[in-house]
Copies of this chain bind each other. A is one copy, B any other.
Amino acid sequence: MKLEEKTVRTEHIFKGKVIDLDVETVILPDGKKATREIVRHHGAVGIICITADEKMILVKQWRQPLKKAVFEIPAGKIDPGEDPLTTAARELNEEVRLSAQNFKYVASFYTSPGFADEKMFLYHAQGMTTVEKKLARDDGEFLNIFELSMEEVDEELKKGMICDSKTLMAIWYWKMNRIKEQ
């Protein structure tokens, strides 16, 4: 079966700080027309940080779409045209005041390909040290930093306080590989 959809019209609905929204009219494989709602996003990185005493570094921050504060791995948006590794280094400094000797690539994935083009790059930070020069956080960015053991992470998972795709993948990666700082 042919699958390709051909765009015949793009309507720009919204241009925001984080996302844009377009509605595309497409021709389906059977020749009929349909509309597709598409959220545009520059992509993001998430960083897996495991300390020498086998704790995961997490930030707790308010997520307005969920109307609660949750634990997530350090993460942030890629600036337009920025290399994801540059984003990773910047966010690791901004959010948890650490630098890394190496960012090991773990995975990349589209968070929700049905309606969004956001791509997430997941790295494991190796050789972490405290930064001397702290970068300024984004306007309106408030967070608390935590180090949780695997048992504490499981507890927060159960309570629904860890509940997003990148952090769940980071935890599964940790459990599969039992990684820690040397």
In the complex where A14-B14, A39-B19, A165-B120 touch, is A65 in contact with B113 (Cβ < 8 A)? yes
Interface residues of chain A: helix, strand, loop or mixed (majority): mixed
Does A136 touch B at the CB level, under 8 Å? no
Stretch at the interface among A50-58, A83-91, A104-112, A126-134: A104-112
Give Cα A61 to B49, complex, Å.
35
Q: Please name all residues of chain B whose beta carbon is closer than 8 Å to the beta carbon of A35 when the two chains form the complex.
A: 17
Chain A 36-57 interface 0/1 with B at a Cβ cutoff of 8 Å (1 = within): 1111010010000000000000
Does A143 touch B at the CB level, under 8 Å? yes
Does B64 contact A38, Cβ atoms closer than 8 Å?
yes
A162 — nearest CB in chain B belongs to which residue? B109
